Amino acid sequence: MFSLRKLVDELAVAGHLVRLDEEISANLEAAEIQRRVYASGGPAVFFANVAGCQFPMVSNLFGTIERARFIFRDTYEAVRRAIELKIDPTQALRKPFRYWSAPLTAWRMQPKRVSRGPVLDQEIRLSELPQVKSWPDDGGPFVTLPQVYTEDVRQPGFGKSNLGMYRVQLAGNSYQPDREIGLHYQLHRGIGVHHQAALAAGQPFRVNIFVGGHPAMTLSAVMPLPEGLSELTFAGALAGSRIPMIGGRDRLPIYADADFCISGTIVPGRQAPEGPFGDHLGYYSLVHDFPVLQVEHVYHRRDAVWPFT
């Protein structure tokens, strides 16, 4: 069982994280602190006292190469070798001693089904989540490190699943408070392909949005992986253990070690204005219509920490 809170403690002991006990607002202030710390090559920052919110936040986890190496210090080499074998399997015959641990890495890459997990400890409303707004003209608060999980209704299961980092707007514009959020994605992306398949089959398109958990899940959601290598399998290799997913009848699997999970169904045939959003290129992406997620559950673990960038 992985805990982001424990990782925060490890980073602090190793000198990779500082703790802020002063009250900080999630509305613009936290993001400005994060930008300045990142620009100076500073440490990760733990915001222990977020104004009007019960959850602490952490930022800048991947702000330096040294910190990323520390986080993945036990698995980096094994993952690199696994990718080498994926590209050229004959390497195992030419250099058997280099790749002796490959079978163990391959086993760790397979996600596993579990019946329960800490992410389901408690349930809250959307408005109780940290409402991080990064720029003055943003359309509302956004989830800036979401892990958006979907499956193909034609081939349910982990094999054809997709874990991507797609923009998530928690509130604002015309979204119904505590009931709807916006998802920004293109139809040619993994989630878009799954969406079209669900529409063609006349089935509900369910979506789970994970926040937190092992940093391997966050990185896997943005990695351009080789064809045939799913995000969950890569995350397992990077984490050094199989990714636990809570299954169940009529339930889209939920990442058991996540700090938060927003679960819902895309509203068929409906789009709503999403944005503006100040992106990493230094410009605002303007308002456009995108799919709406009807939120059914918002879960969190007892020791939850909200990571953001």
Does 138 qualify as catalytic in the annotation?
A: no
243: nearest Cα among 303, 234, 252, 251: 234
**What's the first-to-final CA gap in the chain, in angstroms?**
24
Residue with tokens 């990185």: 219
**DSSP-derived secondary structure for 173-241:** TTPPTTTEEEEE--TTSHHHHHHHHHHHHT---EEEEEESS-HHHHHHHH--PPTT--HHHHHHHHHTS
* Catalytic hit among 9, 121, 137, 279: 279
Q: Which amino acid is present at 133?
A: K
The count of other CB atoms within 10 Å of the CB of residue 39 is: 9
State the DSSP code for 243.
Answer: P
- Cα torsion 192, 247, 127, 179: sign: positive
Cis peptide before 268 (omega within 30 of 0): no
Residue with tokens 């007892």: 302
Instruction: State the DSSP H helix or E strand holding residue 108, giving kind and residue range, or none if neither.
Output: helix 102-108
Q: In the numeric block, which tokens belong to residue 288?
A: 């456009």
Q: Say if CB 221 and CB 190 are below 8 A apart.
A: no
Q: How far apart are CA 157 and CA 12, in angstroms?
A: 38
Q: Which residues pair with 174 in a beta bridge?
A: none
Which sequence positions are flagged as catalytic? Answer: 279
